[in-house]
A = this chain, B = another copy of it.
Amino acid sequence: MPTTGSIEEQRRAACATREAILKVARRRFSSCGYADVTLRDIAADADVSAALVVKYFGSKEDLFAQASGFENDAEKLLDCELEHLGEHLVRTLLDYHDRTQGDPLVRAVFTSSRPAGASFRDNFESQLVTRLAERLTGPRARLRAELVCSHLMGLGASRLVLRTRAITAEPTEDLVALTAPLIQNWIDNPL
């Protein structure tokens, strides 16, 4: 019979495995879209059996729904005072790329392109675009928030999906310096 300590250890290990599976699932769904990914691919990436993925998450659709949640990512992206938000957004996104080889905004693009993607699109809008728009002052806050997101999406698609040569090779801080001022401009200035 396992001791309390080992139950706790098992719980922690299961939790770490769940996280690892979610992480590789996000990466796969970001870079390949939904339909071209199999549970077997994800299991292989996470170095576990496909049966374990099913045990923890259910079907591919279920795993996708859990991997596509936007709330945590949106919170991290927006966790900064307005005057430095442009820089924070780009840096957070690029760090996210480096850590996970994934991108929540690019995932949203792939997700919402699916026939059943309307609910994911709604999440993206309510959890990121609308929350950003509510923080902006002055006219046309909604449009400015969407332009910010559009800019970040283009950067993510170039770096992670098309992997265009120069953007991919550019050091994070240099890309931040180049693009953050444009994004900050939508944040600061009413149209």
Residue numbers of A with Cβ under 8 A of B are 31-36, 108-110, 112-115, 121, 124-125, 129, 140, 142-143, 145-147, 149-155, 157-158, 161-167, 170, 178-179, 182, 191
Q: Which of A109, A125, A166 has the most CB of B within 10 A?
A: A109
Report, nearest first, the 6 A-B pairs whose CB atoms are least far apart. Answer: A154-B154, A35-B35, A143-B166, A150-B158, A150-B154, A153-B154
Q: 16 extra interchain contacts, Cβ-Cβ under 8 A, other than A33-B35, A109-B109, A146-B165?
A: A33-B110, A34-B35, A35-B36, A36-B115, A108-B162, A109-B161, A113-B161, A125-B165, A147-B179, A149-B164, A150-B167, A152-B154, A153-B157, A153-B162, A154-B154, A157-B157
Chain B residues within an 8 Å CB radius of A178: 147, 191
Are A147 and B125 neighbours in the complex by a CB distance under 8 Å? no
From B33, B143, B154, B165, give the contact of A151 (CB < 8 A). Answer: B154
